[in-house]
A and B are shown apart, each in its own frame.
Chain A
Amino acid sequence: DAGVIQSPRHEVTEMGQEVTLRCKPISGHDYLFWYRQTMMRGLELLIYFNNNVPIDDSGMPEDRFSAKMPNASFSTLKIQPSEPRDSAVYFCASSFGHAEAFFGQGTRLTVV
């Protein structure tokens, strides 16, 4: 398996634009996590899914953020409209049950 695949690896966008981050989890994993990493706050959980169903979205900062998992092999994290304070590295991870999670390479988002 190629591991968790995230795209794009880098994204630069202007404030106010919509941004969509994509994730393909490891095949067979039933949990998918979205994390955000910033210098100020470190790694934070945004939302996680179990069997494509959102379980905990308490980490989603505000209504500008939304995440979907339409099937077991794909998830998106959307920010609309984007703001400079959303600049961060966004990681997707997946796991089988409560076993260790495998991380994607991350998407570095810069909002100017």
Chain B
Amino acid sequence: KNEVEQSPQNLTAQEGEFITINCSYSVGISALHWLQQHPGGGIVSLFMLSSGKKKHGRLIATINIQEKHSSLHITASHPRDSAVYICAVKSKGNNDMRFGAGTRLTVKP
């Protein structure tokens, strides 16, 4: 079993829909990251969080440490949100990241 599990693996939505991507992990962590990878391959860090909730524009990330679960929400989705979203965790005592397999999101106009 992977240390970081994401769901769904693939997600197709219509423009304007509310989107949720889930991440569960099995290790004690110091922080959880949500990354975005566009076609063409560049990786951008969206959020780093260790508790509670963070919001940036239409993106919201939440984490429940007790349940070892995080969600990434996109409100009013847009075709430019189409990308692979990757959850990654930093284990306590280390500074390296362990990655989920990613969720491929396609938003259709």
Contacts and interface: CB of A to CB of B under 8 A. Distances in A.
Contacts of A43: 86, 88, 99
A98 B86 contact: no
Contacts, number: 49
A82 B45 CA distance: 30
- Please report whether the interface of chain B is mostly helix, strand, loop or mixed according to DSSP: strand
Interface residues of A, number: 24
B98 interface: yes
Interface in A71-103: 89, 91, 93, 95, 97-103
17 contacts: A31-B95, A42-B100, A42-B101, A43-B88, A43-B99, A45-B97, A50-B95, A55-B95, A56-B94, A97-B95, A98-B31, A98-B90, A100-B33, A100-B48, A103-B43, A105-B41, A105-B42
